[in-house]
Amino acid sequence: MEAVTRDFFLFLSKNKTLNHLAQNRGSNFAAGKIIGGTDFASSIAYIKELNEQGLSVTVDHLGEFVDSPQVAAERTEECIETIRMIHREGLDSQVSLKMTSLGLDIDRELVVANMTRILDEAEKLDIMVTIDMEDVTRCGATLELFKQFKKQYKNVSTVLQAYLYRTEQDLKELSRLNPFLRLVKGAYKESPEHAYPDKADVDTNYMRLIEQSLLAGNYTAIASHDENMIEFTKAMQRKHKIPLEQFEFQMLYGMRTSLQQELVKQGYRVRVYVPYGMDWYGYFMRRLAERPANIAFAFKGMTKK
């Protein structure tokens, strides 16, 4: 049943008609509930509200698979301006982005040039930029870019997906760089050739990766709403006396808000992923596909306020 639910929401995420309708009619409804706003400026008030609750933030301008150098340049400028606004407003916020939004599918030199401009600004203002992971066909290229940037910049991190077979080895290689890593289960539809088809195997691998990353001394973000993974991380921390400053929990804006606040009260660092922009529909459907329990969390979030 879970596989059927996952496939259904992944199918909906790619429906162009529904995506168009959501952009035109649903963006204002989604703002302040599952996305910050339709642009970064309109998201600032929501970010400040989260900061006041003791929650850190990472923001992401929704939209990927850019096939125009001009659009990639616009996304680059927008990201640089977002970094500057975070600094000016004194927000406790980082930035997340996808390499395809900067031209990965167009030309490698283009994405390197665009990302270099972003990281130059992020380094100057001391704001972390996380390179989000995409589907398995872009995983290798994304990690190679991260390795290249990590040699030059401090404020760059990336994401690893527990459902991919390759991730354990990727983590071993990346740990040599003393990285900041976000660990997720994975939200794209991949074949059994590349990814664990069974949830139980994904969960087992996710716990293995959490342990591996923390014991390697990496700063690790455990990005999950799954309380089993959260409790596993807490137990790991107690058993190995891992400093609380070495890891954080990350959750989606509008989902599990009470759990986020409870973790903060317990002394854990929690970062909320706040996407913004018009292309929110595909993002939302992928989050529902990622874990069936998210459906209930999302409905609660969409009906608040």
The predicted pLDDT at position 252 comes to: 94
The structure's pTM equals 0.88
What are 109-122's pLDDT values in tens digits?
A: 999 999 999 999 99
Question: Distance (Å, rounded) from C-alpha 305 to C-alpha 296?
Answer: 16
Domain ranges, ordered by start, for the chain: 2-302
Residue 187's Cβ-count burial label (10 Å; 0-12, 13-18, 19+) is: buried
* Confidence band for 286, pLDDT divided at 50, 70 and 90: low
Question: Mind telling me the catalytic residues?
Answer: 132, 182
* Confidence band for 104, pLDDT divided at 50, 70 and 90: very high
Question: Is a pLDDT exceeding 60 seen at residue 267?
Answer: yes
The predicted pLDDT at position 26 comes to: 46
Span 2-302 CATH architecture:
Alpha-Beta Barrel (3.20)
What are 107-154's pLDDT values in tens digits?
A: 999 999 999 999 999 999 999 999 999 999 999 999 999 999 999 999
Question: Is a pLDDT exceeding 80 seen at residue 6?
Answer: no
